[in-house]
Amino acid sequence: MTDTPWTWSAVAAVERLKSGEISPRELLASIRQRVEAVDPLVNALPTLCFDRAERFAGQLEEAAVADRGRLAGLPWPIKDSAAVSGVRTTWGSLAYADHVPETSDYVVEAIEAEGGVIFAKSNTPEFEAGANTFNEVFGRTLNPWNLSRSAGGSSGGAAVAVATGMAFLAQGSDFACSLRYPAAFCNVVGLRPTPGVVPQGPSALPGQVLSVMGPLARNVDDVALALDGMARFDPRDPLSRPCSPASFLAAAQAPRAPARAAFSMTIGMAAVDRAVQGTVGQALDTLVASGLRADEACPDLAASDPAFRTLRAFQFAALRRGVLEQHRDKLKPEVIWNIEQGLKLTALELAGAEADRARVRLAMLEFLDRHGVLITPTAPVEPFPVEQRYVEHIDGQRLATYLDWLVLGYAITVCGCPAISIPCGRTSTGLPVGLQLVGKPHGEAELLRTAAWCEGVLGQSLTRPIDPREHA
């Protein structure tokens, strides 16, 4: 693999854009060549908009370099659950198979304001439901480490694009685990920020805090750069708040071991596959040998399970009940189930879920005050066969619903804390495993410093994109 532009890190690409070594359109052309060579194998970027991207890149080239923003012309794909003006946006659903929005979502505006060049939409399961990226519009996205395996979800297309060099960075979103699980499955880095850091909307439920936007990249520095390009104050989002002038990239480039940490393999709730336990255990031993002080401990997160299930159902009903009424025959069973569960809820059940959420959040905040950071596996299994809709068994234990295997992700979602997944090793079958680090709300800078230190010790992050043909 030669040192062609698509092999660069995002940080290096931006440096070369700013120095004039390469122009935005030249960099975009390199990405286009990579997409044409690789995407037919993995189906990560089903909708391309290179004509739109070339026009935007040309406009950037007409501006002074200092006025091109922090991203300076870096190409980006957007998940097919966020609107990009003039570009087909389907939410992975036959109900929206031909939808072309006139305006972009706030996060897309934020990225473009910083010089990000949108060139594609990345694949997602229907309405982001389920952590395996497939839908009836575009089909399955395949894991580049083994083309018979799942890429995770719901930001699976984004994670695959980053891992294979079809993107330097990618925008994703995270409800239960949708940035973190694909990152773990594809050996990349995925960051779920605190609600409000990255603007969201427009939305019929603007005050929700379960689903957030965030970035994926091949290393911690790059994911920090991506967050710099996404985070901004937007008064249209009621959760948005003024951003610190400090750079997230600067924080990541000053790695630091945490003063203290806690580790839990199961958070007292999750079934975790023995292969994942072994890989994560080895990674923790390596970190401890390098100076990490980690106690085996976890807050009581049991109430996060009923809270999440109730609030998730409510959110699906609030946002998707119209689709159910008009297009029931076009929806997959999991989406129908989520919406119908939400429509059955009572005010008493919602009040109970909010009380559970408040209790779990306070328990987590008190725990992080004592321990600084919580470390867990990211996902409980290695990438599974892509034909499976979801994980039904873990080490012989049957799971009751399609949500059960997501608990390592959604227990943290309920707490409202930022979390990052970094690569920590591979199983005996060569499949990637991720390590999840959880920090305090609006503590992204410190979390990035910790993640960068762990990344340096473990040495598992991708230094170059992978070629899926080598893992077929």
Active-site residue set: 79, 154, 178
Q: Extract the tokens encoding 387.
A: 């034909």
The owner of tokens 């910790």 is 450
Contact assessment for residue 373 and residue 447, using Cβ atoms and an 8 Å cutoff: yes
User: Residue 246 phi/psi, 5° resolution?
Assistant: -70, 145
Pairwise CA distance, residues 438 & 54, whole Å: 38
Q: Residue 154: name the closest of 118, 112, 120, 185 by CA.
A: 185
Strands 261-263 and 374-377: parallel
Whether the link from the prior residue into 377 is cis, omega within 30° of 0, is no
The one-letter amino acid at 327: H
Which burial class, exposed, middle or buried, applies to 77 when counting CB atoms under 10 A from its CB (0-12, 13-18, 19+)?
Answer: buried
Residues 6+ apart with CB under 8 A from 184: 152, 190, 378, 379, 421, 423, 432, 433, 434, 436
Query: Residue 406's closest CA among 73, 60, 152, 200?
Result: 152
Cβ contacts of residue 469 below 8 Å, gap of 6+? 41
CA 264/CA 268 separation, integer angstroms? 8
Enter the tokens of residue 333: 């069973």
Q: Distance between CA 211 and CA 178 in Å, rounded?
A: 9
